[in-house]
Each structure stands twice: as C-alpha cells, then as structure tokens.
Structure 1
Amino acid sequence: MRYLEETLYDALGGERAIATIVEQFYDRVSKHPELMPIFPDDLTETRRKQKQFLTQFCGGPALFTREHGHPRLRARHLPFPITHVKAQAWLDCMGRALQASELENEKAVQELYQRLTLTAHHMINT
C-alpha cells in the first residue's frame, strides 16, 4: 500500500536509484564537450556530493546539509560560467541518464526531471 507521505526519493527507488542516476549522469558529463571544462578531471568527489544532494533534493535524508551546510546552489555555482547552452547540455545529460537508469516509476522520473529543469535554469549566470 502506498502512503501519501511517500517522497520522490522513495518513489524513484531510494539510495540505489539515486546512485544509478548519478553514475549514468557523470558518465555522460565526463564526455560532453560543453561540460567537461567546468568539471574536475576526477569526478569521484563530485559524484559523491551529487548523490548527497539528489537524495536530499528528492526528500530523502539531508545528507548534503549535514556535511556541507545549506546547498546554496546558485552561490556555490557562481564561480563557473553557466550559460543557456551549458544548462541545456546538463539537462540533456540528465535526461539521458534518467532514461538509461531504467527506473520503474516513470511519473517520479518525470517529476524529478521537471524539478531539475527549473533548477538548471535558475543556475544560469552568464
């Protein structure tokens, strides 16, 4: 039985789903010509933080805040030139990652993508 209190994190499939999404996403980012220049060569720590952030963003445990404080996404990303083109490239990588993750709850996947679309557009600073 499903409860009304189910979070997006739960609907997606919890920790395993978030880990799959992040791995699929950064596999694409690491090869994308628009995104490679703004990410470090070693994405290990970036992947770990993204897992923490997405867990929290989707209503799971507040892993990111516990370790790093409030996400302050826009402020944390101001040092990086984020254009409309880069935001769209990021969303394209995420869209492909979500498809490749083969998660069962398509409605939850669509909701996550919609939330991330709003976030990506908010991050544009150039």
Structure 2
Amino acid sequence: MTHSGTIFESIGGFDSIDRLVTAFYKRVGQHPKLIPIFPEDLTETARKQRLFLTQFFGGPKLYQEDRGHPMMRRRHLPFPITPQRRDAWLECMGEALIEAEIEEPYRTAIFERLTMTANHMMNTPE
C-alpha cells in the first residue's frame, strides 16, 4: 500500500481521525482531572478537534477555514492546564490511538507531536 507523505493520508484520512477523536473524548468525558476544564457536552469540542487534527497531520486546512489560525496556546489560556492535566490528556490520547487502531510508526509519531503540543499548552503550575 503506497501512501503520500502526510500522516493524515497514511493513517486513513478522515475516518481514522474521526475514530481517534471519538475514542479520545469518550475518555476525556470520564477523566476526573479533565472534566473540570471541558464542557459537559463535548460535541463542539470534538468537532473542532477533528478539524484541527486533520490539518495538523497534513490533511485539508479545515480548522483554518472554520476557525482561523489555530493559535492553540492562546485559545487554551482560559483553561488552567497543569502538568497533571497535561498527563491526563496524553493518557487519554495514548489509549485512544490504540482503540482507533492507528498503526505504527504513525501511532508513535502522532503521540510525539501531540506531546510537544500538550507541553506547550501548560499554563498553570500544580
């Protein structure tokens, strides 16, 4: 199977992003450290995450078309993101990558990129 150079296409495009985001928010909505900083209804949050991850991993620039420049750190400043919350977020994402059946080497590449992003989002000490 030949893939072009983007992670987005290599993992199977929109369907894989959708599976990943669905698996991720199923966990976020139940995680005691994350519940306080996420809305009760995660529908819109998940929609924006699908757009962002599509663009972040080399697919169409859907997030930018819908929301403008990502500016992720600025958009996350209203939420107290501590090291423990970063770790909880990454734990949920790691499990979601497995559930969504994202294959290696893409699973590790995605997790590494999202770890850098999560580190950048931290804005509050414990």
Same-fold status (TM-score > 0.5): yes
Alignment of 1:1-126 (within 5 A): 2=2, 5-103=4-102, 105-126=103-124
TM-score normalised by the chain length of structure 1: 0.95
Identity of aligned residues (%): 52
The amino acid that maps onto 1:92 is E
CA RMSD of aligned residues (A): 1.0
Q: Which runs of 5+ in 1 are unaligned?
A: none
Equivalent residue letter for 2:2: R
The amino acid of 1:17's aligned partner reads S
**1:64, 1:112 → 2: CA distance?**
18
Unaligned segments of structure 2, at least 5 residues: none
TM-score by length of 2: 0.95
* Letter of the 1:49 counterpart: K
**Letter in structure 2 aligned against 1:73:** M
Give CA-to-partner distance per residue, 1:64-112, whole Å, 9 cap, x none: 0001000000000000000000000000000000011113x31011100
